[in-house]
Amino acid sequence: MTILIAGTIDIDPANIDTALADAVVMMKATHEEEGNLAYVFSADPITPGRIQLFEKWESADALAAHSASAHMKEFQPKMGGWGVKGADILKYEIASEGPLR
C-alpha cells in the first residue's frame, strides 16, 4: 500500500531561506532511502512563510525506516529554529493509483 504524507508548515517568513536550505539537505538524503518515491519541501508562492510538504512511500515500513533515520534525527532540531507557527500534515494510505485522465 502506497503512503502519502502531505500538508503545510507555517514558519516565520524571515526564516524561509534557512528552512529551505535545511530541507534540501534532508530531501537529498531521503531520496536515497529505499522505498522513497517522492519527498519535497517547497515554499508556497502565495502565503509568506508557508512550506508545502509532499512525501510518497512504497510502504508503511519504508516510512517507519525514514522516521528512524539518522538524517531525520539531525533534521528535527533544525526545524525548531525556523519559528514554526503551526502545521497541518496528513497521512494517506492509497489502495490504488493510476493516470489522471
- Separation CA 68–CA 40 (nearest Å): 18
pLDDT for 21-41, tens place per residue? 999 999 999 999 999 999 999
User: DSSP secondary-structure letter at 82?
Assistant: G
**44 — pLDDT class (breaks 50, 70, 90):** very high
- Separation CA 47–CA 32 (nearest Å): 30
Q: What is the pTM of this model?
A: 0.93
Place of cell 516565520: 12
**48 — pLDDT class (breaks 50, 70, 90):** very high
**H or E, element range at 18:** helix 16-31
Q: Which domains does the chain have, with CATH numbers?
A: 2-93 (3.30.70.100)
